[in-house]
């Protein structure tokens, strides 16, 4: 394995906002293109399918327009598994490539909640797993529910172990440590790519996404595919176009030392870089944060992997005998 080289791809492209079907079709075309370029794994940006909820940052907008946008957004959420993921799986299989794609996932029970989900698909055409964003950021909480740790895992592939997180999960530290403890080799850092309408700050948002992604690469001794989202307000359908700001992408590929080896990507493009397991192992031999460079006698992390269960049904058979007798 140490001699194995692999190709990494960051797919920087604009989805068809508020259009689940058209976005899925475009994703399949991009997967085919990345496969033709020889990539072993390709990453998409945060909630690429069918788009990041840019409208939540329109604080001065008409509230009725924000509610309308939220309803349209939920109506275009994706079921996992479902028709759209079936198409993505078929595209990955035909292209012979692994895919990590940000998806607006519909809650399978209530059908009234969406999650910021990173979906992993293998080149065999099967879903490898999914990870729901643990804590949506600021106004994202108006459109996304909270995830759990059931999908906070690496996936073993022929060329190495892959993992992924969404946006500011890289700022939370602990989710990343869980993945590092599982020995990730290649990590997808999915970002919205936004400069947004936040208050003035020392540096724009895209610089922060690069800073956190480079830090993750160095700490994990793994390659990071940083994928930023694109948004051109001219391509947003009315009446939601008045809520849109430009998201410029700025995708990068980063090596296990935290050094940039490709990027920044500009416009719609597929960024490609070659990696090697030798580089990963060399970096980990110097720094394995959850292995030889850890102090488990001083620090330990506890992870609750139980899925959320808001309703639990019981029957008479589930009750202790003493309770059944007291009720009779």
Concatenated DSSP letters of 106-174: EPTTTSS-EEEEEEEE-TTSSEEEEEE-SS--GGGGGTB----GGG---EEETTEEEEEEETTHHHHSH
151-185 tens-digit pLDDT:
999 999 999 999 999 999 999 999 999 999 999 99
Comparing C-alpha atoms, which of 276, 225, 261 is closest to residue 5?
Answer: 276
Task: Give the predicted TM-score (pTM) of the model.
Answer: 0.91
247-264 tens-digit pLDDT:
889 999 999 999 999 999
Helix (H) or strand (E) holding 86: helix 83-95
The residue from 133, 140, 169, 284 that is catalytic is: 133
Comparing C-alpha atoms, which of 148, 45, 135 is closest to residue 99?
Answer: 45
CA dihedral 167, 170, 176, 179 (to 10 degrees): 30
CA triplet 158, 307, 176: central angle to 5 degrees?
Answer: 50
Supply the DSSP string of 310-324, one letter for each residue. Answer: S-----GGGS-HHHH
Q: Known catalytic residue: 89?
A: no
What are the tokens at 74? 């939920």
* Res 315: pLDDT: 77
For the chain, how far is it from start to end, CA to CA, in angstroms?
65
Coil vs helix vs strand at 261: strand
Contact 220, 179 (CB under 8 A): yes
The residue from 28, 116, 167, 169 that is catalytic is: 167
Q: Known catalytic residue: 246?
A: no
Q: What is the spatial distance between Cα 267 and Cα 153, in angstroms, rounded to a whole number?
A: 31
Comparing C-alpha atoms, which of 143, 142, 113, 131 is closest to residue 179?
Answer: 131
102-127 tens-digit pLDDT:
999 999 999 999 999 999 999 999 99
* Res 78: pLDDT: 98
* Res 203: pLDDT: 52
Band of residue 319 on the pLDDT scale cut at 50, 70, 90: low
Q: Known catalytic residue: 133?
A: yes
Q: What is the spatial distance between Cα 83 and Cα 208, in angstroms, rounded to a whole number?
A: 35
The residue from 14, 46, 105, 169 that is catalytic is: 46
- Which domains are delineated in the chain? 5-327 (3.60.110.10)
CA distances in angstroms from 59 to 55, 139, 143, 150, 196, listed in the order given: 9, 10, 14, 34, 12
Q: What is the spatial distance between Cα 164 and Cα 134, in angstroms, rounded to a whole number?
A: 12
Comparing C-alpha atoms, which of 245, 244, 209, 215 is closest to residue 227?
Answer: 209
Q: What is the spatial distance between Cα 15 and Cα 1, in angstroms, rounded to a whole number?
A: 36
């Amino acid at each position: 394995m140490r001699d194995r080289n692999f190709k990494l791809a960051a797919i920087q492209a604009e989805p068809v906002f508020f259009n689940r079907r058209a976005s899925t079709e475009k994703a399949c075309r991009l997967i085919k293109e990345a496969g033709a370029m020889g990539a072993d794994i390709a990453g998409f940006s945060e909630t690429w399918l069918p788009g990041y909820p840019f409208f939540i940052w329109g604080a001065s907008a008409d509230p009725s327009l924000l509610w309308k946008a939220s309803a349209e957004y939920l109506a275009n959420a994706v079921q996992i598994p479902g028709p759209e993921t079936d198409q993505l799986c078929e595209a990955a299989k035909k292209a012979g490539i692994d895919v990590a794609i940000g998806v607006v996932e519909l809650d399978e029970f209530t059908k009234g909640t969406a999650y910021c989900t990173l979906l992993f698909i293998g080149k065999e055409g099967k879903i490898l797993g999914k990870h729901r964003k643990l804590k949506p950021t600021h106004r994202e909480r108006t459109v996304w529910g909270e995830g759990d740790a059931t999908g906070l895992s690496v996936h073993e592939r022929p060329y190495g172990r892959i993992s992924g997180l969404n946006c500011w999960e890289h700022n939370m530290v602990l989710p990343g440590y869980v993945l590092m403890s599982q020995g990730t080799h290649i990590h997808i850092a999915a970002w919205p790519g936004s400069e947004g309408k936040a208050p003035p700050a020392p540096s724009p948002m895209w610089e922060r996404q690069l800073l956190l992604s480079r830090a993750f690469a160095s700490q994990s001794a793994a390659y990071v595919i940083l994928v930023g989202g694109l948004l051109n307000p001219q391509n947003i359908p009315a009446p939601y176009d008045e809520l849109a700001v430009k998201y410029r992408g700025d995708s990068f590929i980063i090596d296990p030392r935290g050094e940039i080896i490709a990027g920044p990507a500009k416009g719609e493009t597929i960024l490609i870089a070659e990696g090697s397991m030798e580089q990963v192992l060399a970096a980990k031999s110097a720094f394995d944060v959850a292995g030889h460079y850890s102090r488990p006698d001083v620090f330990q992390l506890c992870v609750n992997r139980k899925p959320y269960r808001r309703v639990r049904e019981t029957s008479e058979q589930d009750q202790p005998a003493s309770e059944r007798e007291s009720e009779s």
